[in-house]
Amino acid sequence: EGFSSVKFFLSLYRFQACVYFASVFQAMSCGIHYLASVFMAVTPNFVCGFPGNVSSVLFHNSSASSIEDIWTLWTSTENYIVVQLENGEIWELDQCSRSKREVSLDLAYEYEGNKSVFPCSDGFLYDDTKWKSTVVTQWDLVCDREWLAKLIQPTFMLGVLVGAVIFGDIADRLGRQRVIWFTSAGQFVFGIAVAFTFDYYSFVIVRFLLAMVSSGYLVVAFVYVTEFVGIKARTWASMHVHAFFAMGVMIVALVGFLVRTWWVYQIFLSIATIPFVLCCWMLPETPFWLLSEERYEDAQKVIDTMARWNRVSTPCKVSELCSVQQDDLASGRTGDNDTSSTKKHNILDLFCNWQIARRTITVWLIWFTGSLGYYVFSLSSVSLGGNEYLNLFLIGAVELPCYIIACLAMDKLGRRNTLIPFLILSALICVLIMFIPQDFNILIILANMAGKFSIGVAFGLIYLYTAELYPTIVRSLAVGSGSMMCRVGSVVAPFCVYLRSVWIFMPLLLVGIMALLSGILTIMLPETLGKPLTNTLVEATEMGRNKKSCSEKTPPAHSGAALEKIEMFGQERVGTDK
């Protein structure tokens, strides 16, 4: 596994390697902001505030002089605390209400007399032994305002959806370079701005904008690096973008462990963007986009720069690339009289016949399930027991080997033969976790890591598999629609995690059912390993019926440097989103 990763990195030329690592470094910042709310919006133990100064506190059979000494004994939200004030009044403090005892003779925990119930008009008292301050404690997002706290992560994911759509389109119109500049600067500016928001609503709005630029960067950076690294390293390059995202999740765990005040925590997470913001202006526009916009002189300048960095004595000329493209277009017109290439396609083309429609439904379900499972395992990790910071760190770390396994398995076993067992395995792991006793914390954490590993393999694989399942005329549409289903899954995931309050295993049950259903339906998908990309819907339909694997013809051996550049500019692009 490690040797394969080394081969990938060695396969990159010097220029492409610099561009690649500079670009994917910022993907860590995306992973950071996507999971930052895990610790920033945590709800600690709390009770209703009281009017006055306390003289003594009673919790069951334990007494103390302050409420801070009681928090270590707090075991359930159904508990209450009895306090006696300096003026002699005795109050029972629940989480969302408080009761004043009418008869206050002796301080006892049990009381059968009359009580007057009051709302929490004096605020709340929070347990600050773990977190000095969170957005929940900052703006009292508890009790009747608890729903506002539960909207923090879903609204962020909604921003992810909007940002991917908007910036993906802008990148095609204005170029990848400008979008990378803007979204990188935006992550730093909005990330810092979040820490200085003055109320809940401004916090949510700025976080929504932060989600848009983070998502926009991740989508455009993926396209940016794949247009530079070339065909040979494309699979490994795309997977390692996910790996840097996972490293961002690990940084969240580390910073959360070291910093327990939410706005300081947010600032520390945001300054991870600074190194890239300072150097991203040096990144060039991709020659692929420049050629598509007919900016041939600019494209030639970038190619010449690449040649100098890579020590290529005879750099490829734009005129050569243009002539190759013209020949391909001419041969395409001669060899195919079908007008479908000029027809504008829409989402209905993904349901043009039963074979393609069934394929589309299955692919959409896999995208949705992959995203749902990814975020359910990630967001639930802090509730598994034990050290929540270590749990999140391990949930992020387990992604690093899973992408290596995915790359190796998809090339050796095939796309479908890798996807099916890992989807079914993740479903079985979800069921297994339900039967593990709750006091076996280590075993539960290991099982959740295995679940995240298996769903991570499937989630990483579906990007490339989707592109290979559909013909050229609707390939971008298929990947784009699948990516939308992915983002829908990321919006639904936080609400799924909240179902733990209904039944602790409800999120796992839902993920397990979806993963099992996806795995079974994947059996009906065709294998694409070793088969050429299809161009028409008829070819894509026949691919699922043919038993024999079609092999692509090996191109003649042209001079190495020129062929590598032509391959780089002629590659297909596949978008991504977390």
**Number of domains the chain is built from:** 3
Phi, psi of 440, deg, nearest 5: -90, 70
- DSSP states along 486-550: HHHHHHHHHHHHHGGGT-TTHHHHHHHHHHHHHHHHHTTSPP-TT-PPP-SHHHHHHHTT--SPP
Choosing from 235, 257, 283, the residue where a domain stops is 283
Residue 67 placed within a domain: yes
CA distance 62 to 74: 11
Q: What does the block give as tokens for 300?
A: 């030639």
pLDDT value at position 270? 92
404 and 474 assigned to the same domain: yes
Residue 564 placed within a domain: no
Phi, psi of 358, deg, nearest 5: -65, -40
26 and 90 assigned to the same domain: no
Helix (H) or strand (E) segment spanning residue 195: helix 176-195
pLDDT value at position 404? 85
Residue 190 placed within a domain: yes
Residue 549 placed within a domain: no
Choosing from 129, 156, 175, the residue where a domain stops is 129
357 and 413 assigned to the same domain: yes
391 and 527 assigned to the same domain: yes
268 and 407 assigned to the same domain: no
pLDDT value at position 520? 95
Token pair 């992604």: residue: 399
CA distance 53 to 526: 72
163 and 138 assigned to the same domain: yes
Residue 319 placed within a domain: no
215 and 139 assigned to the same domain: yes
CA distance 265 to 259: 5
578 residues of the chain, pLDDT tens digit each? 444 444 444 445 777 778 888 888 888 899 999 999 999 999 988 988 888 788 888 887 777 777 777 787 777 666 788 888 888 888 888 888 898 888 767 778 788 788 888 888 888 989 888 889 999 999 999 989 999 999 999 999 999 988 887 887 788 788 888 888 899 999 999 999 999 998 999 999 999 999 999 988 888 887 787 777 766 666 677 777 888 889 999 999 999 999 999 999 999 999 987 887 777 778 888 877 787 777 778 778 877 777 777 676 666 676 665 655 555 445 544 444 444 444 566 778 888 888 888 999 999 999 999 999 999 999 988 888 778 999 999 999 998 888 888 888 888 888 899 999 999 999 999 999 999 988 888 899 999 999 999 998 988 888 778 878 888 777 767 877 888 888 899 899 999 999 988 888 999 999 999 999 999 999 999 988 878 777 788 888 887 665 443 334 334 333 334 434 444 443 333 445 66
3-state secondary structure 308-338: HHHCCCCCCCHHHHHHHHHHHHHHHHHHCCC
pLDDT tens per residue across span 348-365: 888 888 888 899 999 999
Residue 341 placed within a domain: no
pLDDT value at position 558? 38
What's the pTM? 0.82
Residue 324 placed within a domain: no
4 and 22 assigned to the same domain: yes
Q: Which domain CATH number covers 173?
A: 1.20.1250.20
pLDDT, mean over the chain: 81
Token pair 């910042």: residue: 29
Region class of 113: left (phi > 0), else alpha (psi between -120 and 50), else beta: beta
Choosing from 236, 263, 283, the residue where a domain stops is 283
| Contacts with 22 (C-beta within 8 Å, 6 or more apart), sequence order | 276, 279, 280, 283
155 and 259 assigned to the same domain: yes
Token pair 């005795």: residue: 90
Q: State which residues form the domain around 254.
A: 1-44+132-283
482 and 431 assigned to the same domain: yes
Alpha helix segments (H runs only) across 196-231: 200-229
98 and 197 assigned to the same domain: no
Is residue 306 within 8 A of residue 19, CB to CB? The reply is no
Residue 5 placed within a domain: yes
51 and 141 assigned to the same domain: no
pLDDT value at position 187? 93
- CA angle (383 as vertex; 254, 153 as ends), nearest 5: 75
